[in-house]
Amino acid sequence: MSSIDYEALAAEARQMFESAADEHELESARVAWIGRKGRITLLLRQIPDLPADERPIAGGTLNALKGELAACLEERLRNLSADESETGADFDITHPGRTPFIGRLHPLTTTLNEIIDVFREMGFDVAEGPEVESEYYNFEALNIPEHHPARGMWDTFWTESPPGMVLRTHTSPVQIRTMEHQEPPVRIIVPGRCYRSDTPDSTHSPVFHQVEGLYVDEGVSMAMLRGALDTFAHRLFGEEVPTRFRPSYFPFTEPSAELDIGCFQCSGKGCRLCKGTGWIEILGAGMVNPDLYGFVGYDPEKVTGYAFGMGVERIAMLRYGIDDIRLFYENDLRFLEQF
Ligand SMILES: [Zn+2]
C-alpha cells in the first residue's frame, strides 16, 4: 500500500468529478470513487491489512480525499442545476409545443354577425334595447292592445316584482324606442335575445335570438323591401337560391309577407326539410302599419317604411344543417367544436 501515489489518485478523482458534464456523469464519478464499491471506499477497507505505521497516514489521507470529493460532488450538482435554469439547458426547442386551447365563436354569434354585416353594408345601423320590457313597448305600441287575438301568438313570461313587465317576446320594441327619439330616416337592424314560454323541443326554445330590421323614410316601398331581403337571402344561402314572397299576417305590418327560399336540399322537388313544398320559410316582413306612426309622432301621410324579422337559430340551423335547436344551448364541446 505504501506504493500508492495519493497525489496521483486525488488528481485523477478530482479530474473526473470536475469534468462531469451533467448529473449523470457526476453520479458515475460518485459510484466509481466513493460509492459502496468505489476505489476510495475499497482502499479504506484495506487499511486494517496495512503495516501498523502506515495505517494513520493512509486513513487520514483517504478520509480527507473522500470528504473533499463529497464536497466537490455537492458543489458540482448545485452548479449544474443553476446552469440548466440559466441557460434553459432542459428546454428542447425542437420539442413540439403544447397546443394552446383556443376558443371560438358560437355558431349563433357567427350567424348573427354575418346577418348584421349584410345589412350594415346596405346602410343599416345596429340598435339595441332592454330585454325586460313594459307591456306598452312589447305589445300596445306595436298595435297589439290587450285582448287582441294576436297576443295569443306569444306565450309570454311576466315579471312578479314589479308586476306587469314582460321578458320581450320579440325585438320589435326597440323599433318603437328608436322612432320615439329619432326623426326619419330611420334605418336600423336590431339583434337580440327574446323569450317565450314555449316548452323546449327540437324547434322551440324559451330563449332565442332575433334580428329585426326597420327602414322608415319618405318613399320607402315594398319593392325596396323585396330587394333588400333578396340580397340578404343570396348572401347567406347562395346567389342561385330562388326566393318568393308569400302573403301573411302580423299586427304591426300591412301588408305582411313571409320570405321563402327554394329548398336547397331537394332543389324544389319536395323533401322532408321543406315538408314537400319545395320552399323554406326564413323570415317575416311587411310594410310598417301606419297606425304605429301615431305612437311615435311620425306623419303617416309623409313617411312609409318596411320591417322584417327573423330567428337567428332558424337561419343557423338551415345553414349548418342542425336539426335540434337545443344543441345551441347545451354547451357540448363535441357540437360546438364543429364550427
Ligand atoms: Zn326540400
| H helical segments located in the chain | 6-19, 23-33, 39-46, 55-87, 107-121, 135-138, 173-181, 222-237, 291-296, 312-320, 333-336
CA of 279 to the centre of ligand 1 (A): 7
CA of 272 to the centre of ligand 1 (A): 6
CA of 321 to the centre of ligand 1 (A): 13
CA of 240 to the centre of ligand 1 (A): 15
CATH (one of 3.90.1150.10, 3.30.930.10, 3.30.360.10, 3.40.50.720) for 107-336:
3.30.930.10
Please write down the long-range contacts of 36-41, taking CB distance under 8 Å and 24 or more positions apart: 39/9, 39/13, 40/13, 40/65, 40/66, 40/69, 41/66
SS3 of residue 55 by DSSP: helix
Q: Let me know: does 65 contact 6? Beta carbons within 8 Å.
A: yes
How far, in Å, CA of 299 to CA of 301, rounded? 5
From first to last of the 339 residues of the chain, give the pLDDT tens digit. 456 788 888 888 888 888 888 888 889 999 999 989 999 999 999 988 888 888 888 888 899 989 888 888 888 888 877 766 655 556 777 888 888 888 889 999 999 999 999 999 999 999 999 999 988 888 888 878 777 776 666 678 888 888 888 999 999 899 999 999 999 999 999 999 999 888 888 888 999 999 999 999 999 999 999 999 999 999 999 999 999 999 999 888 999 999 999 998 888 898 988 889 999 999 999 999 998 898 899 999 999 999 999 999 999 999 999 989 999 999 898 999 888
CA of 138 to the centre of ligand 1 (A): 35
Where do the CATH 3.30.930.10 domains begin and end in the chain? Answer: 107-336
pTM of the model: 0.67
Q: Let me know: does 248 contact 264? Beta carbons within 8 Å.
A: no
CA of 200 to the centre of ligand 1 (A): 25
Which residues sit with Cβ closer than 5 angstroms to ligand 1, an ion? 263, 265-266, 271, 273-274
CA of 319 to the centre of ligand 1 (A): 14
SS3 of residue 151 by DSSP: helix
How far, in Å, CA of 222 to CA of 239, rounded? 21
Cell numbers placing 188: 336600423
